[in-house]
Amino acid sequence: MLDKISDLIKEVSSLSVNNGEELESFRLKYLSKKGVISDLFDDFKNVAPENKKEVGQNLNMLKQQALEKYNSIKSALSAIDENSLNTDLSRPAFPFLSGSRHPISIIRNEIIEIFMRIGFTVSEGPEIEDDDHVFTRLNFAPEHPARDMQDTFYISRLSPEDSSPEDILLRTQTSSVQVRVMQSQKPPIRTVSPGRVFRNEAISARAHCIFHQVEGLYIDENVSFADLKQTLLFFSREMFGKETEIRLRPSYFPFTEPSAEMDVSCKICGGKGCNVCKYTGWLEILGCGMVHPNVLEACNIDSNRYTGFAFGMGIERLAMLKYQVNDLRLYFENDIRFLDQFKTAF
């Protein structure tokens, strides 16, 4: 055994290691639990008692020498790697390339931040929903055209338990989140619901089958349409500037009464008219209205005691207006040349 240890000491001292792979092979051969040194320690119990002292000293010397050589080579290779990083002339100079937030995320966060300043909380819900939360509890009549396959992506139209219809679909609006909030919380309720929605629409510069919304809901005693108007005016001027004007046009939504659509003065053309605002100088950004009493009752809220308002806006449309982008398809193409323009935005 002494001869074998002596040969290994000479082998370790003369061994040359040039890279990390060779260093790892060195460790596995000599220092691992299944290495030759470990095997020698296992055989040490078979050494004659009169030779144990000499063999033990030489065995410890072998292990110490192997450890010192391993640590020395490891430190040398680490220094080489560090120096090579510092002297690599092919590396780009400062500033290093960095990513950026997507413009949709930027606008989404800005919308949320504005409403949180006036007491709104954030609520979220599932993208795959049922007909009850997307349509029925929001006062959509059974024959309403929004239920048609041409507008809604249906996943399943039949319950596995029985033969009654149970429509499962991709949500067409984040109002379904508001229904869940009204079912789980008691007034006062003040929340915004951001999220992705889906509608079966032709893709163009102004429309897409996938887009993002932020919907708001406020329910309390004595809430009026004046509260709604003042809230939306505050939001518009915080988002687009103090000079921004808004206008409310009468409209119809099954879940609000009265209902309105809100326009803001077009920032892309300065009110002169362009293809985005259809040459009117105004750009529609949201729908709004007072929550219909039927919706409150469907969510077990006393419509005689509580009133409220709701609104919903498309994030892509606001991003178009904010950044003067005239084609919302750019938000989905992931073109680096387009996204790089938002590196300084947070």
pLDDT band with cut points at 50, 70 and 90 for residue 150? low
Cα-based distances in Å from 106 to 175, 190, 338: 22, 22, 14
pLDDT tens-place string over residues 37-58: 888 877 777 778 887 788 778 8
CA distance 84 to 250: 69
Q: Which one-letter amino acid corresponds to residue 268?
A: I
Is the separation of the CB atoms in 1 and 43 below 8 Å?
yes
Give tens-digit pLDDT for 175-203. 999 999 999 999 999 999 999 999 888 88
Q: Measuring CA to CA, which residue among 184, 215, 341 is closest to residue 289?
A: 215
Residue 22, pLDDT score: 82
pLDDT-derived band at 9, boundaries 50, 70, 90? confident
For tokens 């680490």, the residue is 78
Alpha carbon of residue 329 to chain centroid: 19
Rounded Cα gap, residues 80 and 223, in angstroms: 71
| DSSP designation for 93 | P
Cα–Cα dist 287/261, whole Å: 4
- Residue bearing the bigger pLDDT, 213 or 74: 213
Which of the four pLDDT bands, split at 50, 70 and 90, describes residue 154?
Answer: confident
pTM above 0.75, yes or no: no
Q: Identify the DSSP state of 92.
A: P
The per-residue pLDDT for 162 is: 47
Asked if residue 126 has a cis previous peptide bond (ω within 30° of 0), the answer is no
E-only strand ranges, 144-209: 154-156, 168-170, 189-198
State both tokens at 343: 């590196």
Q: Per the structure block, which two tokens stand in for 156?
A: 């399943």
- At residue 229's C-alpha, the angle toward residues 174 and 250, to 5°, is 75
* 215-251 pLDDT per residue, tens: 999 999 999 999 999 999 999 999 988 888 899 999 9
CA distances from 63 to 59, 69, 304 (A): 6, 10, 87
Share of the chain above pLDDT 90, in %: 39
Map 95-147 to HEC letters. Answer: CCCCCCCCHHHHHHHHHHHHHHCCCCEECCCCCEEEHHHHCHHHCCCCCCHHH
pLDDT at 97: 66
Of 117-131, 164-178, 245-259, 277-291, the range with the lowest mean pLDDT is 164-178
Higher pLDDT, 81 or 332: 332
Q: What is the pLDDT of residue 203?
A: 82
User: Of residues 322 and 170, which shows the higher confidence score?
Assistant: 170
Q: Is the pLDDT of residue 214 over 50?
A: yes
pLDDT tops 80 at residue 213 = yes
Instruction: For residue range 275-319, list pLDDT tens digits in order.
Output: 767 788 888 889 999 999 999 999 999 999 999 999 999 998 888
DSSP string covering 228-274:
HHHHHHHHHHHHH-TT--EEEEEEEETTEEEEEEEEEE-TTTTTS--
**Distance between CA atoms of residues 73 and 23, nearest Å:** 8
Residue 83 scores a pLDDT above 70: no
Which tokens hold the place of 278?
A: 């259809």
